RNA sequence: CGGGACGUGGCGCAGCUUGGUAGCGCACCCGCUUUGGGAGCGGGGGGUCGCAGGUUCAAAUCCUGUCGUCCCGACCA
């Protein structure tokens, strides 16, 4: 078999770029840091959107749309927020050929505009909670960019909510963290995640508490797959989001924000991909089954049509390929690069025996199955391989997670995956030292693995790793 | 922002040292033969060499300026 991609073991970043190019997922745009997402890549993102959106709605948040441009003055109202974002803002100063009275910032995130409007819409405790979400693109002028993982412009969903009490805000942030994000990542993306709390240093600009979901990529580096923040009353005070309580007194609301982005596409690629290309988890895959006519003749295309129909009827997302003028090898390699979970090959040779060949992307296995049993075999394979991908990602993570008792030990082990180190043995000074060596504290968890309410709880465990 | 490199058909590159008006691989188009792991042969289309200026009879090649991109570092939900 001809070598299509740079092997992961030879040069992982190169492999990553190769897959994205060869599978035609995306390429860089004309302006620095911008990216063009091609149909194959966008289809994967659309599936992510569909699944995450379902869960967001189950959490009772409603979708809406806020403007791309934000008055510059809004950003300045929350001190830490401006400080955090100022260096990466793009600002519009001219409109219609005239200098604008007030420059408009292209949104890097929308806490500020949404806060402004929440203030208008909330009068009473009866208006709370207010649960909003928007699917949007945002812009951050990043110094160094990589397709999907860190692009200047990227697509995401950003949820913004306001609550009457701190407890309610906290509960909601946790609900999003677990019921929306963790559930999606584990059950659809098939990526195990460490769910925890960010240290003060890694906290979102303007938040009081930041939570994260960290995945481990196949090169031993961690990737933040999503975050959820408690903003306390910081934004409520800056934007005057107030309400009259049942006690007849005026209060500031407690707000939250949370998001996942196109970065997850990069995470899916790096958590599951192998030297033959993508391995897209079946439940996520825009194309789950790829029906391929190997060669014409002897009723082959009729059989292909009927299998295509049967699979569709069984609820499988299926693509039919009858391009017999394109060589077999090219089509097989393309299907593997794109990570279609199951390929059904039909040719006169198999059909003579009443069979088709079923090829599974996860383990590369090939099996002859009778035409009648094909649909069932495909749905069974999809289910089994969803689990198989999760199991292998979990096994990889377990094999690349170690325990350390001292910082020095941890820094050594962090060269190849996660290290668990008692937070007491690390601390903020240790975190600074780790950062200097390219290692960061990804998050803090309790000894039982649950998410801490505060960074000051005794007995916390820090997860350290190199990261994207 | 500090250090390094590079801009030549769609992509990847050679040519530049020793100026003479552009070449290779892939991709693309046509034809025939092929098709169970990126097919073979033959034919063909497409670039004025990032941009501007200069030297020269003559510039992709030399000089100056300029713009852009990439890599390393710093920076970074």
The pLDDT value given to residue A2 = 58
Write the class of the CATH domain A401-465: alpha beta
Nearest protein residue to nucleotide B11, judged by CA and C1' positions: A21
Nucleotide nearest to A143 (CA to C1'): B75
- Listed in order, the ranges of chain A carrying CATH 3.30.930.10 are 12-272
**How large is the ipTM?**
0.86
pLDDT at A141: 85
Write the DSSP string, A65-91. Answer: ---SEEEHHHHTTSHHHHHHHGGG--E
DSSP string, A140-194: ---SS-BTTTB-SEEEEEEEEEEESSHHHHHHHHHHIIIIIIIHHHHHTS----E
CA of A40 to C1' of B7 (A): 30
Largest CA distance in chain A: 82
Specify the 3-state DSSP secondary structure of A429: helix
Q: Closest nt to A346 (CA→C1')?
A: B36
Bridge-based pairing state of the strands A461-465 and A440-445 = antiparallel
CA-to-C1' span, A198 to B3 (A): 34
Strand B nucleotides within a 7 Å radius of protein CB atoms: 1, 34-39, 68-77
Beta bridge partners, A162, equal A130, A255
Region(s) of chain A under CATH 3.40.50.800: 289-384
> Could you tell me where in chain A the CATH 3.30.110.30 domains are found?
401-465
- Res A181: pLDDT: 98
**How far is it, in rounded angstroms, from Cα A463 to Cα A182?**
17
Distance, CA of A410 to CA of A415 (rounded, Å): 9
Q: Which residue is nearest to nucleotide B37 (CA to C1')?
A: A329
Tell me if A194 sits within 8 A of A463, measured CB to CB.
yes
Please give the nucleotide, over all strands, whose C1' is closest to the CA of residue A364.
B37
| Architecture of the CATH domain A12-272 | 2-Layer Sandwich (3.30)
Contacts by A200-203, CB closer than 8 A, 24 or more apart: A200/A428, A200/A455, A201/A428, A201/A431, A201/A441, A202/A440, A202/A441, A202/A443, A203/A229
> Which nt sits closest to A357, CA to C1'?
B36
Q: What are phi and psi of A122, to 5 degrees?
A: -105, 125
Q: Protein A274 CA to nucleic acid B41 C1', in Å?
A: 36
User: CA A330 → C1' B47, Å?
Assistant: 29
**Dist CA A222 CA A212 (whole Å):** 12
- A177 CA from B1 C1′ (Å): 38
Nearest protein residue to nucleotide B1 (CA to C1' distance) is A143
Q: Which of A108, A114, A105, A107 is nearest to A64 (CA)?
A: A114
Class for the domain spanning A289-384: alpha beta
Tens of pLDDT, residue by residue, chain A (468 residues)? 457 888 888 888 888 888 998 999 988 887 778 888 999 999 999 999 999 999 999 999 999 999 999 999 999 898 888 888 888 888 888 888 888 999 999 999 999 999 999 999 999 999 999 999 999 999 988 877 888 998 888 999 999 999 999 999 999 999 999 999 999 999 999 999 999 999 999 999 899 999 999 999 999 999 999 999 999 999 999 999 999 999 999 999 999 999 999 999 999 999 999 999 999 999 999 999 999 999 988 789 899 999 999 999 999 999 999 999 899 999 999 999 999 999 999 999 999 999 999 999 999 999 999 999 999 999 999 999 999 999 999 999 999 999 999 999 999 999 889 999 999 999 999 998 898 888 999 999 999 999 999 999 999 999 999 998
Rg over alpha carbons for chain A, rounded to the nearest Å, is: 25
pTM: 0.96
- Amino acid A124 CA to nucleotide B3 C1' distance, rounded Å: 59
Query: In the structure, how far is the CA atom of residue A294 from the C1' atom of nucleotide B65, in angstroms?
Result: 59
Q: CA–C1' span, A154 to B63, in Å?
A: 44
């Amino acid at each position: 078999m001809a070598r299509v991609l740079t092997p992961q073991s030879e040069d992982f970043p190169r492999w990553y770029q190769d897959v994205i190019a060869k599978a035609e997922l995306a390429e860089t745009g004309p302006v620095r840091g911008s990216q063009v997402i091609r149909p194959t890549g966008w289809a994967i993102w659309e599936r992510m959107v569909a699944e995450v959106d379902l869960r967001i709605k189950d959490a009772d948040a409603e979708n809406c749309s806020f403007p791309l441009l934000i008055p510059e003055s809004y950003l300045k109202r929350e001190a830490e927020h401006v400080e955090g974002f100022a260096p990466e803002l793009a600002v519009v100063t001219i409109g219609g050929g005239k200098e604008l009275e007030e420059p408009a910032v292209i949104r890097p995130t929308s806490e500020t505009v949404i806060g402004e409007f929440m203030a208008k819409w909330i009068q009473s405790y009866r208006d709370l909670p207010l649960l909003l979400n928007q699917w949007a693109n945002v812009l951050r002028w990043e110094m160094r960019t990589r397709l999907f993982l860190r692009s200047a412009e990227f697509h995401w969903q950003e949820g913004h909510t306001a609550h009457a009490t701190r407890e309610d805000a906290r509960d909601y942030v946790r609900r999003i963290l677990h019921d929306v994000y963790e559930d999606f990542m584990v059950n659809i993306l098939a990526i195990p995640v460490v769910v925890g709390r960010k240290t003060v240093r890694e906290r979102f600009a303007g938040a009081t508490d930041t939570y994260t979901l960290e995945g481990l990529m196949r090169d031993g580096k961690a990737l933040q797959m999503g975050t959820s923040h408690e903003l306390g009353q910081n934004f409520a005070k800056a934007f005057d989001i107030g309400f009259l309580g049942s006690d007849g007194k005026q209060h500031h609301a407690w707000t939250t924000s949370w998001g996942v982005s196109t970065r997850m596409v990069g995470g899916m690629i790096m958590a599951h991909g192998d030297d033959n290309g993508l391995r897209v988890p079946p439940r996520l895959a825009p194309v789950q089954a790829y029906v391929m006519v190997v060669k014409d003749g002897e009723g082959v295309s009729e059989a292909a049509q009927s299998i295509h129909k049967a699979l569709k009827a069984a609820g499988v997302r299926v693509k039919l390929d009858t391009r017999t003028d394109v060589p077999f090898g090219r089509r097989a390699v393309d299907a593997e690069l794109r990570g279609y979970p199951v390929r059904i090959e039909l040719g006169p040779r198999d059909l003579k025996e009443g069979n088709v060949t079923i090829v599974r992307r996860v383990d590369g296995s090939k099996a002859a199955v009778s035409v009648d049993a094909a649909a069932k075999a495909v749905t069974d394979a999809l289910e089994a391989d969803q689990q198989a991908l999760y199991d292998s990602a979990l096994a990889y993570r377990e094999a690349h997670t170690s325990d350390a008792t001292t910082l020095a030990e941890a820094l050594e082990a962090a060269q190849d995956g996660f290290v668990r180190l008692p937070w007491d043995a690390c601390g903020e000074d240790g975190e600074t030292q780790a950062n200097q060596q390219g290692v960061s504290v990804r998050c803090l968890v309790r000894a039982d693995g649950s998410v801490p309410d505060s960074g000051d709880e005794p007995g916390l465990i820090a997860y350290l790793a190199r990261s994207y």
